[in-house]
């Protein structure tokens, strides 16, 4: 197929679709895989705004612009196994000589020298066409829709139930703001965990998308209708989810005025980006769009002030008894800058619930079926259940996911696996391809939110035991380890999840195509990647990580 024909069929802006089936368009599966996943990121089923190449997170893009995207596609279609493509903030900038077990694509997104690492400097570069915001999995081509954060959210809510509610979220009301690409996972995760859920978003299109994909049960436009629904369901012990089209701050104020205290309170608005991600209180979506362009300084002032009010209301509900936690969008920092002095008086989700899992090398292991056939994912589900018969939480999750999770774009799955488990699963998947039990290769990746791949002092590395929250040597070592190990594509980003200046993080994807080469790479990468989390937490003084280190003979 000629390049122009490929573009017309799969990448005619803004309608993007990944090729399906077992036939190659590129020279090998090592380049076909990133090509398909890049296009999958931009599929309208997956991406929040394919017109702007935005995948999720307000402005998180897969490529810098349409022309840069087409150049990346052209390079991937012609690249051989002795070369690797360099991508700088969403633009192909060169091809280097490598070897068949080297990464085929090396990606760096949104990275700025620390003293210049601000939204203001980034925006100037973006306006000049020199940079894009890669978020985490948007710019590293391994986003799989809301399912990508679903299990992590489910694990967090289950941990909250275990810690505060005797392992039982039935008859509990969970309230949160934001129903975009990340927050859109919360309603389904909450109901899967047994809770009644109320989510609030000012943008009705976001809630409509969650309705269409089965992530939310009801959509309403008035506070009274929403409250009547969730309070009735809570009393009956019904795990339903309701999406309210409204301002989250106004909704929290109404709850306070009515004496309604949620059992659990969090937030996942796009607060990391106060200019493009958060809508200030008191203005419509249309007004926000106009003000953002006409007077960005005023917009930022209103946005920060609104976030300060938002967090102040969360603190009031915490004082009234809500179990309140930050879910990693940097809302507390933005609120502090906006005038709320006590913004950090509630904890983030990682130190509160997730860090013990990180100490075991556990994190969001995900995979996608390049065939496009859901039966390939169901085959992997069954293979994992048979391979890990004693991992009852994983088995329970996989069964729930099959029943309740709708695929977006290429069918995919996620489940949290740790040291030893990831390598075993990867080898199992490679064997499924080798023996024809799945119809085409699988790609294995993860969120950048993982045990050893990120430095984010207001999120994953908040309140590290040794005070090393901001040390970003660790994600760099993760990047180098996965590059040396032979991941199929690797990435290093700045600002994902929490915005410019607040994080650095690394991503990896490795191909399972049934070959001996893939097996060798999988053995290295899926050992190295979780090992980084154990090394990182052992070095910080966590006894659980030291025990895991000894368990797997990783002493040095």
* Residues acting as catalytic residues: 415
The CA distance from 483 to 106, in Å, is 9
User: 367 has which bridge partners?
Assistant: 413, 444
Which candidate, 223, 182, 180, places its Cα nearest to that of 201?
Answer: 180
Distances from the Cα of 234 to the Cα of 173, 229, 241, 430, 553, angstroms = 6, 9, 11, 45, 48
The CA distance from 408 to 110, in Å, is 26
β-strands 454-455, 504-512 pairing: antiparallel
Would you mind telling me the total number of residues written for the chain in this entry? 556
Phi/psi class of residue 237: alpha, beta or left (left: φ > 0; alpha: ψ in -120 to 50)?
left
Q: Strand order in 241-245's β-sheet?
A: 218-220, 241-245, 196-201, 173-177, 264-265, 323-324
Q: Which residues contact 166 (CB under 8 A, 6 or more apart)?
A: none
Helix (H, G, I), strand (E, B) or coil at 15: strand
Residue 88: other Cβ atoms inside 10 A: 18
54 in Cβ contact with 466 (< 8 Å): no
The CA distance from 290 to 283, in Å, is 11
Q: Can the peptide bond before residue 14 be classed as cis, meaning omega within 30 degrees of 0?
A: yes
The CA distance from 449 to 358, in Å, is 10
Q: What's the distance, CA 352 to chain centroid?
A: 19
Residue 468: other Cβ atoms inside 10 A: 17
The CA distance from 312 to 315, in Å, is 5
The CA distance from 101 to 192, in Å, is 40
CA terminus-to-terminus distance, the chain: 51
Which helix (DSSP H) or strand (DSSP E) does residue 218 occupy? strand 218-220
CA dihedral of 206, 212, 214, 217, whole degrees rounded to 10: 70
CB hemisphere CA count around 552 (13 angstroms) = 21
359 in Cβ contact with 545 (< 8 Å): yes
Token pair for residue 38?
């890049």
Which helix (DSSP H) or strand (DSSP E) does residue 199 occupy? strand 196-201
Token pair for residue 414?
């996620």
Q: Which residues contact 508 (CB under 8 A, 6 or more apart)?
A: 445, 446, 453, 478, 479, 482, 487, 489, 490, 491, 525, 529
């Amino acid at each position: 197929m000629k390049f122009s024909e490929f573009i017309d069929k799969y990448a005619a802006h803004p309608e993007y679709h990944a090729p399906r089936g077992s036939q190659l368009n590129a020279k090998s599966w090592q380049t076909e895989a990133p090509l398909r996943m890049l296009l999958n990121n931009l599929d309208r089923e997956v991406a929040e705004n394919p017109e702007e190449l935005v995948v999720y997170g307000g402005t998180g893009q897969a490529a810098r612009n349409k022309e840069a995207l087409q150049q990346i596609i052209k390079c991937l279609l012609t690249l051989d196994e002795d070369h690797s493509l360099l991508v700088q903030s969403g633009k192909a900038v060169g091809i280097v000589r490598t070897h068949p077990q080297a990464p085929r694509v090396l990606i760096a997104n949104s990275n700025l020298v620390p003293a210049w690492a601000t939204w203001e400097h980034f925006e100037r570069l973006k306006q000049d066409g020199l940079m894009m915001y890669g978020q985490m999995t948007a710019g590293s081509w391994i986003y799989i829709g809301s399912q990508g954060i679903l299990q992590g959210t489910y694990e967090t809510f289950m941990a909250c139930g275990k810690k505060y509610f005797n392992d039982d979220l039935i008859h509990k009301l969970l309230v949160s703001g934001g129903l975009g690409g990340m927050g859109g996972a919360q309603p389904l995760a909450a109901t899967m965990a047994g809770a009644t859920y109320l989510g609030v978003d000012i943008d009705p299109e976001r809630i409509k998308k969650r309705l269409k994909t089965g992530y939310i049960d009801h959509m309403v436009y008035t506070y009274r209708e929403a409250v009547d629904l969730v309070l009735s369901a809570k009393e009956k012990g019904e795990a339903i989810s309701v999406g309210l089209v409204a301002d989250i701050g106004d909704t929290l104020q109404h709850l306070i005025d009515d004496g309604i205290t949620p059992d659990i309170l969090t937030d996942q608005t796009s607060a990391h980006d106060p200019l493009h991600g958060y809508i200030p209180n008191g203005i419509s979506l249309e007004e926000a769009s106009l003000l953002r362009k006409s007077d960005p300084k005023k917009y930022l002032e209103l946005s920060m002030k609104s976030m300060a009010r938002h967090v102040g209301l969360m603190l009031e509900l915490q004082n009234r008894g809500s179990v309140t936690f930050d879910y990693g969008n940097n809302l507390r920092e933005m609120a502090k800058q906006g005038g709320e002095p006590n913004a950090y008086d509630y904890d983030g989700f990682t130190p509160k619930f997730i860090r013990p899992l990180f100490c075991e090398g556990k994190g969001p292991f995900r995979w996608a079926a390049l065939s496009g056939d859901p039966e390939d994912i169901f085959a992997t589900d069954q293979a994992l259940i048979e391979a890990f018969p004693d991992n009852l939480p994983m088995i329970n999750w996989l069964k729930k996911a099959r029943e309740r999770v709708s695929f977006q774009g290429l069918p995919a799955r996620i489940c949290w696996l740790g040291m030893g488990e990831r390598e075993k699963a990867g080898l199992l998947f490679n064997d499924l391809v080798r023996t024809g039990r799945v119809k085409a290769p699988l790609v294995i990746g993860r969120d950048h939110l993982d045990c050893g791949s990120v430095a984010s002092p207001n999120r994953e590395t908040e309140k590290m035991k040794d005070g090393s929250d901001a040390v970003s040597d660790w994600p760099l070592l993760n990047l180098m380890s996965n590059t040396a190990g032979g991941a199929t594509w690797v990435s290093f980003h700045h600002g994902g999840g929490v915005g410019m200046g607040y994080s650095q993080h690394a991503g990896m994807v490795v191909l399972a195509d049934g070959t001996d080469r893939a097996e060798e790479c999988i053995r290295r990468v899926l050992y190295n990647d979780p090992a980084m989390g154990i090394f990182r937490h052992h070095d910080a003084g966590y006894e659980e990580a030291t025990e895991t280190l000894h368990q797997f003979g990783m002493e040095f």
